[in-house]
Amino acid sequence: MLAELDPIGQLVAMLLLLILSLVTVEYCRRDSRSVFNNESAFLFRGKTALYSLASNAGSVFSLTYFFGGVLIYGYYFGLWYLLLAALILLSALLLLWRMIAKIAYSAANKELESNLLLDYLKAHLTPSDFVVMVRLYSIVYFLLLVEELAVGRLALTMLLPSHPAVSALALGLICTVVITYLSLGGFRAILNSDLVQMTVIGGFLLALIFLMAKSHGLPNQLILPTRRRGVLLIVSAFPMALIFGVSWFVASVDFFSRLNFMPSRIVGNVRQKQLFAVVSLVCIFIVITIGIFYGMQLRSILPAVQSPSLYTEAMIAHFLGLGRPVISAIFVVSIFCMLFTTVDTLLLTVVQVDSYRLSPTIGKTRIAIAMLVAVGLSCLIDFDAVRAFGIFAGSLMILPAIGVAKGLSNWCRRLAPPSLVALEWALLAAGVVFALVFSTIKTNFTRHYMLPGIVVGAAVLATLVGHIRQWIKT
């Protein structure tokens, strides 16, 4: 049995979770005194750029994509992975710079009580294509919510392996708190909550820097990975991960919701939003760099990782066994914060997207319903399946990214499927292939970033079929 919290540690952990929950709810409750004159304002009205910036930085800190993405791939691929992150963020920044100029300019003089990206797509796609886009977004974000809850269940179970009832109570408390503050303040509550969570997570990042500085071992870890790993990454996972990462940023509904920052509720300053994107991605790159460097250092600390559950167990044991109670406490609270800052965003984004095809007055009701359904489905995911499932669910963002490209560019419109219904067939085909190969890939970390290739292949095939059908008709 690896290190775990003793009874006093468990009591302290639950007390810290309770304090964090009360602080978050109270902060959101005070801000909820702001009057929402309609349901759209509840779902989309933002705060200042500082809150949006903290929320953007918090988007990196899901348990899946920080511990299960940044640290573990820093462990495996080292500086190759840092190069990949730099390429993804630079490519995303160049695309977002142009996208924001085009989308925000088209929405000039419009109040920010909607999503800029979805509004633009609604105006520039056919009604049937836009309905498909909304369905794709709903599916992708809901699957990501289910997966994040499954990862949370895994992390809390490994944190309290001898007391499953306590870990279930902790997850239940987190879900209840999220529903509570979202019902109080909608999108503004996410921004408030993320600022609180990032205060704690910022301490965790400082703790990682402190541990690296104390070890005096970082310079020895800056060796490029072996030729075998480098070739594997470049030839197979590297291109697919690049497509995955860029698609995630340019098609992100939640990123464009965060452009609704105050004090002006009117879209006017396009350059301000572009600079916001620059600062956001620079902050994300700094966070990822720290995580990758620490992951590289873990090569000499952790045993060879065999599966997501064993990796999670070893990671938790590492932080709890440092002999530094303050850092261990920060780590435990950071796990809670990462769940808060990810689950609330995914949950409300599902409701935001659905408001474009259903009545927006159902927003508050759907928050609780979506959470309950997602929690139930997350219990069906095996612990060793969470990593592969999460990468595949994230890879599905490639499909709406194709729709975004079709709406933004005439050149892409000619290459994209004539009807975006083809992307729904691509999603179905990708899901079938994923189910067939899942047993051989689920615990192989080095192959997980090849999963986007399944989605890309399905999308290309569906697009070709769509163009052939159109050619036959004409």
More confident residue, 352 or 61: 352
**How much is the pLDDT for 136?**
93
231-241 as b/e: b if 16+ CB within 10 A:
ebbeeebbbbb
Are the beta carbons of 247 and 346 closer than 8 angstroms?
no
Phi first, then psi: give them for residue 266, nearest 5 degrees. -110, 135
Q: Is the pLDDT of residue 264 over 60?
A: no
**How much is the pLDDT for 427?**
94
Read off the pLDDT band of 428 (50, 70, 90). very high
Read off the pLDDT band of 166 (50, 70, 90). confident
Average pLDDT over residues 421-427: 92
68-104 as b/e: b if 16+ CB within 10 A:
bbbbbbbbbbbbbbbbbbeebbebbbebbeebbeebb
Which tokens in the block code for residue 193? 């909550």
Q: Is the pLDDT of residue 430 over 90?
A: yes
**How much is the pLDDT for 461?**
93
Average pLDDT over residues 54-82: 72
Query: Mean pLDDT in the chain?
Result: 79
Q: Is the pLDDT of residue 362 over 80?
A: no
More confident residue, 249 or 446: 249
Name the range with the highest mean pLDDT among 123-132, 241-250, 444-453: 123-132
Question: Cα–Cα distance between 239 and 452 in angstroms, integer?
Answer: 9
**How much is the pLDDT for 235?**
63
Average pLDDT over residues 392-418: 89
Q: pTM of the prediction?
A: 0.88
Name the range with the highest mean pLDDT among 52-61, 69-78, 125-134, 320-329: 125-134
More confident residue, 220 or 369: 369
Lowest-confidence region among 58-67, 286-295, 385-394: 58-67
Question: Cα–Cα distance between 164 and 141 in angstroms, integer?
Answer: 28
Q: Any residues with CB less than 8 A from the CB of 195 and at least 6 apart, and which? A: 50, 51, 54, 55
Q: Any residues with CB less than 8 A from the CB of 371 and at least 6 apart, and which? A: 175, 178, 179, 347
Name the range with the highest mean pLDDT among 101-110, 202-211, 424-433: 424-433
What share of the chain has pLDDT > 70, as a percent? 82
The model's pLDDT over 185-242, given as tens digits with 9 standing for 90+, comes to: 888 888 888 888 888 888 888 888 888 877 755 544 444 545 555 555 556 667 888 8
CA-CA distances (angstroms) from residue 30 to 24, 26, 173, 192, 451?
A: 10, 6, 21, 10, 44
**How much is the pLDDT for 266?**
46
Number of Cβ atoms within 10 Å of the Cβ of 417: 24
CATH architecture of residue range(s) 7-32+40-384: Up-down Bundle (1.20)
More confident residue, 32 or 312: 312
Q: Is the pLDDT of residue 108 over 70?
A: no
Phi first, then psi: give them for residue 111, nearest 5 degrees. -65, 145
**How much is the pLDDT for 284?**
86
State the Rg of the chain over Cα.
22
Question: Cα–Cα distance between 241 and 452 in angstroms, integer?
Answer: 7
Average pLDDT over residues 251-279: 75
